[in-house]
A and B are shown apart, each in its own frame.
Chain A
Amino acid sequence: MSSSSSSGGSARRGTRRRLLLAVSSREKLRRRFNQRGLDRIEEALEGYKEGLARRRFTLRVAFLDDASSMSAFGLKPTRRITDVSAKSAIDRLIGKLAKSPGTSISVLLLGGGEVIPYFRLSNPTRDSDASVPTDNPYGCKPGAVTAEKCLLPERPVGRMPDGNGSSVKLLVTQIENAAKASTLLPGAKTALGYTAAVWKKASQQVWSELGWKGTLRVSLPLSYVDVKASWFKRKDCLYFNLHGSDREPHWFGQKGVSFTTALSPANVRRFNRRESVVLTEACYGAIEMRRKKETSIALSFLSSGSLCMVGSTCVAYGALVPPLSEADLIALHFFGNVKKGMPVGEALLNARAQLAASAISRQGYLDDDDRKTLLQFVLFGDPTLRIQPHSLGSDKDAKDA
């Protein structure tokens, strides 16, 4: 991973001042990790400022509920942090920071959903999810807080979950890894793909359209006992098209009507060792609230060195066979944009727009499944990070894979 010296998206072209606005709740972090833990986070943020400066980004940190932190922006603190009050405070901060023309701002939420809450927007589909947890409104224009108005955010948003535990290590690790990323060069040139057998054709289309070489792993027959360190070795992008559940820590493969455990959090903590970009299409693939790394594959990736992870907060949908739709299109376009050198936050923004454009072109409208897909995918990690564009999909990759 490396930094972006010129952003890949047309919306960002020509910008001169680039800011990463990191927001959190000082009080909630202190309650979770004590003063000592909070001190460690603030120390890591100082190092992060230096790391971002090397990539010509400015980090501005705002603790929304802290008077001294907010007064630095000429604003009053937010007493009670809810989704709506946090968005309102972020919008006011952006209003202050974006005064000079040509400023581009990305948002980073420090902490999980219990620190800075997810919005819970109405579920466009009548499935088993009561609502759709999403960070989309934090990237939308002021006042936009409904599902209909938040389908396509225009500002990159990322989140660093805190792991809901007594240890501050997960959050500090993510901040330190993102700070170091500015000086790391990608050592890997290949991708790992792991799919349920029922979606093999759809996954193969994603794989081949991205120009990735090597083997797409398939479950069944593969299961978690077959996962090896070599699968993860020197891989920049990790792509998963497996089943997930809100009640289970694992992801599952499927062939016919048989399901098996395909990947466990322990697999990831044992074998994942590098600064990769991860995307999963699994239902609840990005579930983190009330979970620890031992019970969440997403948190296991972040704790073991992955720099960012994109996943769904609830039940996700996709095609069984091509033509690709919903989650498959998010995967295809996200990785496609990352390969072009777009920062990961922007890559997800554009992937949503590409999914919407594809659905409108094909159907003439966005249906309920498309709308839910646009809301449910969240990004964990620094949204400004990017992979060097030339580092993926070369001929040499086939030999490495």
Chain B
Amino acid sequence: MPKTLDVAPAKVLKEIKKKIVTRFPEMKGVRPTVVKRRLPPDADLIHVIGKIDGKLGKSLARMKGTTRRREIYCASFEKKMKASRGAVLRKIVRVTFDREGHILKLVSSK
């Protein structure tokens, strides 16, 4: 079982794991950490962006009211990998998905 901090639908999580292992075979058998996040709209940040770059701020200000509170999940797969000359690197793959199992973002550690 994955280390789930807030429950993602089991069927969705199974599908996500399958997709990740297909893309990253080295992650087979890795238990992901799954976190549920309720993300607030970022109105304050839009204000700060506007102070740094007026143009950007203006274009984002038009989005005010369209940014909304969202519920998303992030599953994090982590594994130590061996490199040349005996070095060991930590590789992390993070996948952000919604309740329906749509992958919103896929990133890996550098």
Contact = CB atoms under 8 A, between A and B. Distances in A.
A353 B53 contact: yes
Nearest to A358: B56
Contacts of B63: 360-361, 364
A365 B42 contact: yes
Interface in B74-110: 74, 76, 78, 81-85, 87-90, 92, 94, 96, 104-110
Given A125-B76, A152-B49, A317-B94, A259 B107 contact: no
Given A282-B110, A365-B67, A369-B107, A248 B87 contact: yes
B108 A318 contact: yes
A389 B8 CA distance: 49
| Residue of B49, B55, B85, B88 most packed against chain A (CB within 10 A) | B49
A244 B40 CA distance: 32
Contacts of A157: none
Contacts of A283: 90, 109-110
Interface stretch (A51-59, A206-214, A298-306, A319-327): A319-327
A316 B94 CA distance: 11
B49 A250 contact: no
Contact of B108 (A126, A317, A360, A365): A317
A369 B105 contact: yes
B89 A350 contact: no
A99 to B, nearest CB: 20
Interface in A124-142: 125-128
Contact of B68 (A248, A281, A364, A369): A364
Contacts of A247: 87-88
B91 to A, nearest CB: 8
B110 A241 contact: yes
Contact of A127 (B51, B70, B72, B78): B78
Interface in A327-362: 327, 349-350, 352-354, 356-357, 360-361
Given A242-B110, A282-B110, A365 B70 contact: yes
B1 interface: no
Contacts of A318: 107-108, 110
Nearest to B23: A320
B41 A364 contact: yes
Contacts of A367: 37, 39, 72, 74, 96, 105
A245 B87 contact: yes
Nearest to A261: B84
Contacts of B74: 125, 367-369
A243 B87 CA distance: 12
Interface of B: 5, 25-26, 33, 35, 37, 39-42, 45-46, 48-49, 51-56, 59-60, 63, 66-68, 70, 72, 74, 76, 78, 81-85, 87-90, 92, 94, 96, 104-110
18 contacts: A10-B54, A223-B84, A243-B83, A245-B90, A247-B88, A252-B89, A257-B26, A260-B84, A283-B90, A315-B109, A317-B94, A317-B108, A317-B110, A325-B107, A353-B53, A360-B45, A365-B67, A369-B74
Interface of A: 9-11, 125-128, 151-152, 154, 198, 223, 241-245, 247-248, 250, 252, 257, 259-261, 281-283, 285, 312, 315-320, 325-327, 349-350, 352-354, 356-357, 360-361, 363-369
